[in-house]
Amino acid sequence: MQLSILTVRLSICRLASDNGLPEWLPTDGFLSITRTADELSIVCEERYVPDEVQSQRGWVGFKVQGPIDFSEVGVLASLATPLAESGVSIFAISTYDTDYVLIGEKDLEQSLVVLAAAGHKISQGVQS
């Protein structure tokens, strides 16, 4: 699988489920919004997130080069399994065209080694 590393640091934010979309949301770059009955989750560049927002900062992302056909099986598993076996926690995001796997910035070097050993090809510095 061909992967690229996103060039931005990301933050994973949690707001109340009944919260409206915040004014600080970026209008460009990486942005993922998911609302459930329990929460409103936002993933975006950490530079946009105010200090008072509940968030986990310091995430980096791998983008699977897509588009990926909906019938393709095991895409996330091929990334998640070797990372889990090496003790790296992930946060996965899927879009219509592809998948993203976020890892803590502290785990980047280990993840590069693990994913390369699992047969993935990784290119540096790609925009979201």
Query: Is the pTM of the predicted complex or chain greater than 0.85?
Result: yes
CB burial of residue 22 (10 Å; 0-12, 13-18, 19+): middle
Into how many domains does the chain fold? 1
Which tens digits make up the pLDDT trace of 44-96? 999 999 999 999 999 999 999 989 988 889 999 999 999 999 999 999 999 99
Between the CA of residue 1 and those of 40, 63, 114, 120, what are the distances in Å?
31, 10, 13, 5
* Band of residue 124 on the pLDDT scale cut at 50, 70, 90: confident
**Domain holding 89: CATH number?**
3.30.2130.10
Cβ atoms of 62 and 122 closer than 8 Å: yes
Q: Which residue shows structure tokens 């946009």?
A: 48
12-54 per-position pLDDT tens digit: 999 999 999 999 999 999 999 999 999 999 999 999 999 999 9
> Domain range spanning residue 39?
2-126
Rounded-to-integer distance, Cα 46 and Cα 58, Å: 8
